[in-house]
């Protein structure tokens, strides 16, 4: 157990929470699409997001910069500098037709924590981070922003192309940044830990009537793309037994994806994107490209499922006289969060007047990448209706208020923890 901490009574957590929610709504208005939220890696509206957050951070005593991977970073100094740094944040990109809180809430909440500190300094510095990319929408590969922090944004990924043939490197240049500076985005040994607030994006907390959870692990995930290649032909003149229909093959396989996931406890598998070529009503599709997302808390179950589904795609293609191509975009192992930080978070949740819940995250998060280099932990906020990746995504103001209060307690607990700053506190 860490030290019990006193926090200034003057903090009005409720009004800070209202401000956080309002700020998420402001950021939601910066979108690539009129009438809905879409903000992919370094798309033009990300400039507006950076500007708005910088304007919120600088009066609080933080110094901001945008690193070469497009991550917004702000340093709030320690009582004495140089000092070890606690990183707090989440991501600023979104899926298409997104809600206003996935990722963004974690960044707005980190800003609110600095506001709650009201220029009080701690024995460690705080770096607020808004990651440029976590969803994997534009390049099919997620975590571009956090990979840069752990030194994993290498040549292969920099040269990956989006649907318009623009590479990650070119997108960085088009945004006014220099990909040759990527190495300077990496964290140094000064960074001692990473903490991320995020909406749960599922129904568990709501089901238990609880507001906040400490995350003990994040499920592993695979992302792949399969292309069924048949032969395009006339829809009116080609008899059914003489077709090499790529859509029909993909449809048969998609049904088997759902079947396997339903039969395997804890497995979730999703085909979220289907693209056909040439894509006309009166043409048998010559090519169908489908995405596959597979997740499980156990890496062996997930890997076995992906092998099975790959073999099934090959079997279906062979039987129908088609060929098949597959590309793996992500094979991310499940990641445990740091047990010491997780226990500290549970204590901070209690100090904020809530009953803590412990859970495994089914969604991927930047914390699973940061955990490769620094001790990492997450706090989940209840998600009304369990709805996320959808415009109906929402939060409860009192949950946000409790999350800020929990964050302030956590900051003080860590300040009072012997050796936290020297990263020997686990020993």
Q: Can you give the binding site for Mn ion, defined by CB under 5 A?
A: 102-103
Q: Binder to ligand GLV among 17, 69, 363, 404 (CB under 6 A)?
A: 363
Residues 338-357 as x/- pattern, contact with ligand GLV by CB under 6 A: --------------------
User: In terms of CB distance, is 100 or 285 closer to ligand GLV?
Assistant: 100
Instruction: Count residues binding ligand GLV (CB under 6 A).
Output: 3
Q: Measured from the CB atom, is 107 or 363 closer to ligand GLV?
A: 363
Burial of 263 (0-12, 13-18, 19+ CB in 10 A): exposed
Sole binder of ligand GLV in the list 93, 135, 338, 346 (CB under 6 A): 135
Answer for the pair 93, 149: CB distance below 8 angstroms, yes or no: no
Q: Residue 65 CB: number of other CB atoms within 10 A?
A: 11
Distance between the two ends of the chain, CA-based, in angstroms?
14
Query: Closest CB to Mn ion among 137 and 313?
Result: 137
> Which residue, 36 or 424, is less far from Mn ion as judged by CB?
36
Cβ count near 165 (within 10 Å): 7
Site membership for ligand GLV, residue 364 (CB under 6 A): yes
Please state the closest distance from residue 78 (CB atom) to ligand GLV, in A: 32
**What is the separation of C-alpha 2 from the centre of its chain, rounded to a whole number of angstroms?**
29
Q: How far apart are CA 105 and CA 231, in angstroms?
A: 47
**43 CB burial (10 A radius; 0-12, 13-18, 19+):** buried
Here the tokens at position 357 are: 């819940």
| Residue 364, contacted partner among ligand GLV, Mn ion, none, CB below 5-8 A by kind | ligand GLV
Minimum distance of Mn ion from residue 104's CB (angstroms) = 9
Is residue 42 a contact partner of residue 172, using CB atoms and an 8 Å limit? yes
**Cβ neighbours, 10 Å, residue 311:** 10
Cβ distance 83 to 75 under 8 Å?
Answer: no
When CB distances are held under 5 to 8 angstroms depending on the partner's kind, the choice from ligand GLV, Mn ion, none that residue 115 binds is none
Q: 356 touches which of Mn ion, ligand GLV, none (CB within 5 to 8 A by kind)?
A: none
Q: Shortest distance, CB of residue 221 to ligand GLV, whole angstroms?
A: 7
Binding site for ligand GLV (CB under 6 A): 135, 363-364
């Amino acid at each position: 157990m860490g030290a019990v901490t006193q926090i200034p009574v003057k903090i009005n957590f409720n009004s800070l929470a209202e401000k956080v929610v309002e700020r998420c709504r402001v950021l939601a208005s910066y979108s690539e699409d009129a009438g809905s939220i879409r903000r992919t890696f370094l798309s033009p509206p990300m400039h507006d997001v950076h500007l708005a957050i910088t304007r919120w951070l600088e009066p609080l005593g933080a110094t901001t910069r945008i690193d070469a991977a497009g991550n917004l970073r702000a340093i709030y100094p320690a009582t004495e500098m140089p000092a070890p740094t606690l990183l707090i944040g989440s991501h600023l990109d979104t899926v298409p037709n997104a809600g206003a809180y996935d990722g963004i809430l974690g960044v707005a909440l980190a800003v609110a924590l600095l506001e709650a500190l009201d220029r009080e300094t701690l024995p460690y510095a705080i770096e607020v981070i808004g990651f440029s990319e976590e969803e994997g929408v534009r390049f099919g590969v997620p975590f571009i922003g956090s990979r840069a922090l752990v030194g994993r944004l290498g040549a292969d990924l920099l040269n990956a192309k989006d649907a318009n043939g623009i590479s990650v490197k070119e997108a960085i240049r088009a945004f006014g940044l220099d990909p040759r500076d990527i190495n300077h985005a990496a964290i140094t040994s000064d960074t001692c830990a990473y903490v991320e607030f995020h909406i749960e994006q599922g129904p568990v907390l709501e089901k238990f009537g609880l507001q906040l959870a400490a995350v003990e692990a994040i499920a592993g995930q695979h992302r792949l793309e399969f292309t069924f290649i048949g032969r395009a032909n006339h829809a009116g003149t080609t008899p059914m037994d003489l077709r090499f229909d790529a859509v029909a093959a993909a449809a048969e396989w998609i049904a088997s994806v759902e079947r396997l996931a339903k039969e395997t406890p804890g497995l979730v598998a999703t085909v979220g994107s289907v693209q056909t070529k040439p894509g006309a009503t009166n043409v048998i599709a010559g090519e169908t490209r489908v995405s596959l997302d597979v997740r499980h808390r156990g890496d062996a179950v997930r890997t076995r499922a992906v092998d099975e589904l790959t073999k099934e795609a090959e079997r279906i293609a062979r039987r129908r006289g088609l060929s098949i191509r597959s590309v793996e975009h992500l094979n991310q192992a499940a990641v445990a969060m740091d047990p010491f930080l997780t226990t500290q978070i549970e204590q901070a949740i209690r100090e904020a007047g809530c009953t803590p819940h412990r859970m495994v995250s089914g969604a991927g998060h930047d914390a699973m990448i940061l955990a490769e280099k620094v001790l990492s932990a997450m706090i989940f906020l209840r998600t009304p209706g369990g709805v996320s990746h959808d415009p109906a995504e929402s939060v409860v103001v009192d949950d946000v208020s409790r999350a800020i209060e929990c964050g302030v307690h956590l900051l003080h607990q860590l300040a009072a923890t012997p050796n936290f700053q020297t990263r020997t506190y686990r020993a």
